[in-house]
Amino acid sequence: NFDSSLSIAYQQLVPNEKWTPTLNQLWNDAHGKQASIAYHDYYRNMYFRNTNYKKFGFNKFWAIDGSHKLKGLTYIDRDWTASDESLYNYILNDVQRTDKNQFLQVATMQNHTPYNDWYDNNQFKDADISQNLSETEKTNIDTYAKGASYTDQSTLAFLHSLNEIDRPITVIFYGDHLPGIYDTASASKKNSLALHETDYFIWSNNASQSAGTKLDSASSAYTSSNYFSAQLAQHLNAKVSPYIAFLTKMHQAIPAMSVPASSGSNDKPTYLDANGDLVKKKNLSKQAKRLLHDYQLIQYDITTGKNYLKDTGFVDLPK
């Protein structure tokens, strides 16, 4: 919803915000600031995370440098990024050391570009019979596929370990985008949407009342990360703030939205319907257009406006 010149909000927008309401602050309100902890297995200054996470209300930020330094991370074969498995194990150890309620923000680096044939015994490389692709593109894709396979295995093991903990735990898992390695496919704008779609899931362990809960396919087949708080509340059957209630209505009206590039456009945001099909703004329903206008006003007030909403309880849970 911002001008196309705003390409990296973490660097161009957040540092200048006077008010930054975030989902984790609901945990802080209930359990104190120590409830929010962030992890990232790379350098803490990327995208100004070090300063932004403080603004978001995180008490600690663990990275591979600085005062709260991740130690003991492992690397697979020649991969330059830490393995997801080693960061998962770090988080498991921290979770098991406390019985307090926490909000953990985790950003991993495995499967991040570049992809220079890092892995031994790569079955995807051996089985690749692709035609009309350059050797560089094939290597990139095969290496990424092997890394994603490692992530699949380690994520499943991570969830199994969380299931063994006798406290309710819920995980929101998602990737922010596919890597820009599909040169041949990206040559056509018709593939832009598919090249920006990633998997996600919301899962609760056996100790949670929401274990086994699945959101209905009509509302969960397609989404965007701005709706995760609303979907989480629905998954947990939790109380919601007026803002999360608004996002719930937004998600029903416009199931997913993203930046212009997702649809192959340079200047028009991407809107999807419940079937994952592109919808032009002019073809949105009257209700959807009204909600979208309200959403833009909300975002303006929070980011660059005068924060009229700050003292209204709009982002707070009911007492």
Q: Can you give the pTM of this predicted structure?
A: 0.94
8 A C-beta contact, residue 261 and residue 176:
no
Phi, psi of 171 (to 5 degrees): -120, 130
The Cβ of residue 65 has, within 10 Å, a number of other Cβ atoms equal to 12
Closest CA to 207 of 164, 159, 166: 166
- DSSP secondary structure, 3-17, as one string: -TT---HHHHTGGG-
The two three-digit tokens of residue 238, written as one number: 């939790």
Ordered by where they begin, the domains of the chain are 9-239 (3.40.720.10)
pLDDT tens-place values along the chain, 319 residues long: 888 788 889 999 999 999 999 999 999 999 999 999 999 999 999 999 999 999 999 999 999 999 999 999 999 999 999 999 999 999 999 999 999 999 999 999 999 999 999 999 999 999 999 999 999 999 999 999 999 999 999 999 999 999 999 999 999 999 988 999 999 999 998 998 999 999 999 999 999 999 999 998 888 999 999 999 999 999 999 999 999 999 999 999 999 998 776 766 767 889 999 999 999 999 999 999 999 999 999 999 999 999 999 999 999 999 8
Distances (CA, A) of 60 to 38, 40, 101: 6, 11, 15
The two three-digit tokens of residue 267, written as one number: 């200047």
Phi, psi of 277 (to 5 degrees): -95, 145
Give the amino acid at 142: D
8 A C-beta contact, residue 247 and residue 230:
yes
- DSSP secondary structure, 119-185, as one string: -SS-HHHHH----S--HHHHHHHHHHHHHHHHHHHHHHHHHHHHHTSSS--EEEEE-S---TT-HHH
Residue 319 has a pLDDT of 83
Return all residues near 297 (Cβ < 8 A) that are at least 6 apart.
none
8 A C-beta contact, residue 114 and residue 78:
no
Residue 266 has a pLDDT of 67
Rounded (10°) angle between helices 242-253 and 228-236: 110
Q: Tokens 């290496």 map to which residue?
A: 143
**How far is C-alpha 179 from the chain's CA centre?**
15
